[in-house]
């Protein structure tokens, strides 16, 4: 087994998870223009919902995954319905949205800890994770392979929805300017509600995969979200492809950095990258000035 190949594999897996978070985050940010801190905790909530159905109620694995995704989507829906939509009606500033989303993050995190304790939980044994493939000179588990392929699938589907359907076109109209979109008769409240459901469901997929891959704990939401945010900023906020590419890049930088330094520096490395980007290339890798 070759170290280099293994690091690249690990980076791809981490990148795939970050890409999912970035996809959902970008979608919501595009339509609402605020940093939704609740996004990461909703991802983790999706993972815990799957854990609950599969490990506690004994529901079939694939059905549990589906239910987990639905739960995440539902959380996105109610957070918009109860908090963000009323704030939009009051024309609150972006900072107020952001602080409110911090509040939601704290609440979801604490509720999860109350129900499941703050210990690490893992989903892995329920999806033949013992099966390993040796590919080139590295090892990749079946779970990781499924994860990687589903990210590509979800990304493809999302691009298709955004480019080809009426919903996709209204979403991009709202992202360009909510006011104009409203003026030409788009029901922006309803579309933003869809955006929250879809974006949160995608985040839920990420949380579920973290559960299968390394295991989840209630407070992981914040760091997961930050990786997604960092990826979407590096890729250029609102740029779907850029965000995904940057997520994989972030995975590489982190894993190579960890190889050189130590595991505990991981978060510091990604933030250093973010701050450097914000300073010298705020429009992201692919953005135009």
Partner 1 sequence: MEYFIHIGIVFFIYAILAVSLNLVVGYTGLLSLAHAAFFGIGAYATAILLTKYNINFFVSAGVGMGLAGMASLFIGIVLSKFKDDYYALASLGFNVIVCSFFINLDSITGGVIGIPGIKKPSFFGLEIHSNFAYLILALVFFVIIFLVSRFIVQSSFGRALRAIRDDENALAVFGYKVLNFKLVIFVISAMMAAIAGSLFASYITYIDPSIFTITESVFILTIIILGGLSSLRGSLLGALFLILLPEYLRILGLPNDTAAQVRQIIYGLALIFLMLYRPKGLVGEYEMK
Rule CB under 8 A: which residues touch partner 1?
Answer: 34-35, 83, 86-87, 92-100, 102-107, 109-111, 113-114, 117, 219, 222, 226, 229, 261-262, 264-265, 267-268, 271-272, 274-275, 278-279, 282
Which residue number, 74 or 97, has a Cβ lying nearer to partner 1?
A: 97
Q: Which residues contact 289 (CB under 8 A, 6 or more apart)?
A: 283
Which residue number, 74 or 277, has a Cβ lying nearer to partner 1?
A: 277
Taking the complex as a whole, the smallest distance from the CB of residue 265 to partner 1 amounts, in Å, to 6
Q: Which residues contact 34 (CB under 8 A, 6 or more apart)?
A: 94, 97, 98, 101
For residues 25 and 226, the answer to whether their CB atoms sit within 8 Å is: no
Taking the complex as a whole, the smallest distance from the CB of residue 157 to partner 1 amounts, in Å, to 29
Distance CA 57, CA 154 (A): 28
Which residue number, 101 or 126, has a Cβ lying nearer to partner 1?
A: 101
SS percent in the chain: helix, strand, coil, step 5: 80, 5, 20
Taking the complex as a whole, the smallest distance from the CB of residue 67 to partner 1 amounts, in Å, to 24
Which residue number, 9 or 48, has a Cβ lying nearer to partner 1?
A: 48
- Cβ–Cβ contacts within 10 Å for residue 114, how many? 10
Distance CA 51, CA 28 (A): 26
Taking the complex as a whole, the smallest distance from the CB of residue 271 to partner 1 amounts, in Å, to 4
Which residue number, 70 or 222, has a Cβ lying nearer to partner 1?
A: 222
Residue length of the chain: 289
Which residue number, 119 or 179, has a Cβ lying nearer to partner 1?
A: 119
Taking the complex as a whole, the smallest distance from the CB of residue 127 to partner 1 amounts, in Å, to 29
Positive or negative, the CA dihedral 263, 18, 31, 40 is: negative
φ, ψ dihedrals at 138, nearest 5°: -125, 170
Taking the complex as a whole, the smallest distance from the CB of residue 94 to partner 1 amounts, in Å, to 6
> From residue 143, how far is each of 103, 123, 126, 214, 271 by CA, in Å?
33, 11, 10, 11, 28
Which residue number, 151 or 250, has a Cβ lying nearer to partner 1?
A: 250
Distance CA 158, CA 244 (A): 12
Taking the complex as a whole, the smallest distance from the CB of residue 168 to partner 1 amounts, in Å, to 26
């Amino acid at each position: 087994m070759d170290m280099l190949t293994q690091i690249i594999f690990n980076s791809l897996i981490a990148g795939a998870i970050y890409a999912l978070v970035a996809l959902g985050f970008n979608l919501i940010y595009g339509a609402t223009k605020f940093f939704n801190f609740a996004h990461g905790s909703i991802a983790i909530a999706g993972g815990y919902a799957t854990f609950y159905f599969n490990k506690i109620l004994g529901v079939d694995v694939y059905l549990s995954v589906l239910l987990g995704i639905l739960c995440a989507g539902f959380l996105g829906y109610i957070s918009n319905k109860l908090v963000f939509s009323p704030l939009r009606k009051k024309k609150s500033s972006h900072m107020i949205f952001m602080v409110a989303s911090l509040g939601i993050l704290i609440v979801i995190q604490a509720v999860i800890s109350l129900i499941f304790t703050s210990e690490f939980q893992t989903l892995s044994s329920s999806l033949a994770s013992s099966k390993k493939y040796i590919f080139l000179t590295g090892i990749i588990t079946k779970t990781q392979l499924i994860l990687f392929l589903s990210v590509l699938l979800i990304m493809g589907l999302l691009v298709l929805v955004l480019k080809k359907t009426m919903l996709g076109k209204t979403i991009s109209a709202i992202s360009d300017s909510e006011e104009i979109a409203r003026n030409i008769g788009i029901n922006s409240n309803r579309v933003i509600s869809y955006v929250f459901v879809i974006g949160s469901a995608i985040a839920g997929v990420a949380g579920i995969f973290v559960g299968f891959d390394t295991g989840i704990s209630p407070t992981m939401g914040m760091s997961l979200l930050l990786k997604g945010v960092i990826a979407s900023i590096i890729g250029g906020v609102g740029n779907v492809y850029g965000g995904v590419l940057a997520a994989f890049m972030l995975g590489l930088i982190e894993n190579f950095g960890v190889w050189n330094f130590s595991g505990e520096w991981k978060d510091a490395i990604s933030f250093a990258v973010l701050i450097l980007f914000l300073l010298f290339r705020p429009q992201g890798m692919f953005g135009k000035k």
